[in-house]
């Protein structure tokens, strides 16, 4: 069970990064070029929201089934974790939850805007911050190795 969830979380992360980067680039481009908000933009933002929420759910399952997550903290305490174990058990999950929260807030706020520029700008700000948070806490040595 653990290896299936771990592989799913790892491979789904590629999709998350792809759609999150697409949403950020799309919103930044349209913000700075004063393009109209189109149904395609709505779908990109919504698909990004859905994909990141699915990743969060997979990650939470992984957190409670992984020996590197909750069980590691329970067995060693916070002071007994190595820097890499702390990344997997604390920093990565916290930043993931924070990133999904920002994406959710940005998506919700953008729907309330009435004109194109504020819609694009809201998505650009919240999704870009979320992308940066995600990129800082990916365990690159495990993910690419």
Rounded to whole angstroms, the Cα distance separating 132 from 117 reads 22
pLDDT at 145: 55
Structural domain tally of the chain? 1
**In the 8-state DSSP scheme, what is residue 91?**
I
Phi-psi region of 113 (alpha: psi -120 to 50; beta: other; left: phi over 0): beta
pTM above 0.75, yes or no: yes
**Residue-number span of the structural domain to which 62 is assigned:** 2-143
**pLDDT value for 112:** 94
- Angle of helix 39-65 versus helix 92-112 axis, rounded to 10: 160
The pLDDT of residue 109:
96
Work out the pLDDT band at 144, boundaries 50, 70, 90: low
pLDDT digits (tens, 9 = 90+) for 90-129: 889 999 999 999 999 999 999 999 999 999 999 999 999 9
What are the structure tokens assigned to 39, written together?
């149904």
pLDDT at 139: 83
- Over range 41-68, report the average pLDDT: 93
Q: Pick 72 or 47 by higher pLDDT.
A: 47
Of the candidates 55, 58, 52, 57, the residue with the CA atom closest to the CA atom of residue 2: 58
Mean pLDDT over each residue of the chain, to the nearest integer: 90
- DSSP-assigned letter for residue 78: G
């Amino acid at each position: 069970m653990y290896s299936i969830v771990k592989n799913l979380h790892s491979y789904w992360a590629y999709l998350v990064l792809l759609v999150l980067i697409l949403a950020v680039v799309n919103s930044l481009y349209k913000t700075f070029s004063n393009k109209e908000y189109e149904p395609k933009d709505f779908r990109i933002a919504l698909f990004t929201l859905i994909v990141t929420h699915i990743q969060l759910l997979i990650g939470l399952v992984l957190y409670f089934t992984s020996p590197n997550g909750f069980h590691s903290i329970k067995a060693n305490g916070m002071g007994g974790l190595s820097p890499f174990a702390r990344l997997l058990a604390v920093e990565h999950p916290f930043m993931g939850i924070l990133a999904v929260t920002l994406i959710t807030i940005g998506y919700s706020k953008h729907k309330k805007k009435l004109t194109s520029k504020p819609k694009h700008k809201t998505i650009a700000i919240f999704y870009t911050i979320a992308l940066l948070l995600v990129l800082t806490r990916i365990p690159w040595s495990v993910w690419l190795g």
